[in-house]
A and B are shown apart, each in its own frame.
Chain A
């Protein structure tokens, strides 16, 4: 027994030493790179810091490096990488939208795929039932509005409920929507769905930007909101709802706001998805698995940080469709879910938040432990 303890502390010590030297190494690299980008970061901080938060040189490099990478991807990536990233853009919209509602307020929704599903079905059903020639200028706003309306329909009665009840009823909302599709197959196309929706384009390059640009707009908008007072209140609701009420703020009203903020981009994502595939069907658009995957993405990147879920979505979709693509499906999913579970247990705050804080530390000059 005692020898085992010795060994384990011994190995911990070795690990600790290794980690410290790696840590020091990274710090010195960080200290060298940070000043290079600090002036740019300072400029950014002066202009936008008040709205989006300040960052140091390393963090500036991460954000704008990634942005540059995303914008230029077709010029250096392979075909399947671009294909994967196109899909990842849509899922990033979903994960960020989920985050502003569930991640920030702590009211975990298991039913967000209803919102995107409603938007997608609204588009398809308008084209299928009303007018096949209806222009996107009409269907897109109407579909987003439909997502918003359904979002309110779910939010109004349920936000009074406490956490677990809220999760259950959002879960049930997915099941109800899913099961209604079949009895009304005359309008919904039943389980084979509707194929008559037009795609934006079959040109994969153009399509990539069709998905990327709305995703970036949503990211900027939600980051702005999350960094504003609304975001603060939403987080306060998660930490202590009665304190929010005691401070004279109507918590229910803010929770409702979070649903509005979430439903609109969910609607946008749903519309992007339906014009990506040019079709809707219940298994691709509605099933509860979709809701769970959104949550997994947000968890992976770090809940309540907007950009974390964005990164999480890219990481998740990349792993699923690109990095692990050669493996049989069940092995692939086993690996994915194991990673998510490990992150949940050992890195609750998410990988991208960890990265962000690490960059902050390594950027700090001359800091010693």
Chain B
């Protein structure tokens, strides 16, 4: 059954591009640097996974792209969606894009769906809002969408409230809702984390198939290395608000260059490690309110040198577009 899936060559202009995106949460006593300069470009039909542990800033980055952060968040940098700068856009215009050209699915569908409206009403409301077609036509589209995400007896499910559905079904309904206006970018924030393993693989396969049919770009955020290996074209590994390494799924999974990525992969448990002591990354992730200067991973890194603790960490980009942010990168990339 396992079959080599070729990472498709993706060409053309990026649909979503971020340059030096930073997010700080400044409150009275604290200054949390959640995202510290994230840049990427995503083309149509491409899936980029942001892989990171809790507190690495992966969800905050996603919410910043979508404009969902609270007003006290200080967002800097540039984000272009189809060539238009999203961060300086007036609110009303951004509202038109959200749910239209860019939409998002969340970890907890029960919290993201409205409990007092049926699934059909929620989907058709979005369509009516964005496209101004009649409610009846929108309901027909909603039915088609539920069928597209493979919800059985879709016609009946259209009239269900979220609490009447199972977890996997709710996640499918949320995907249908996000796809209602054929977005060019889908942001997925840990959409399979709360699901059982047999349902998780169904959702991952569904997303892959929908992407093939609709050609949208996906930004997939997860902490699960397995899910990332199943869905991504490219992976960006995030640590303390920065991408420390990015590359194709093969480059990251098979020859990780950054010590954090190496540690993350080798501490991921699988059966082949039975009877052996697991390799671990010592310590715990840094406090984002008190980031050390230099490389944020330095206190936990086994290869740490004096150069890591001060100054600017070099970013090495290889010919294939793979990026590593590490003092040792010149040796490891060429080696």
Answer whether A and B are interacting partners.
Answer: no
| B residues adjacent to A (C-beta < 8 A) | none
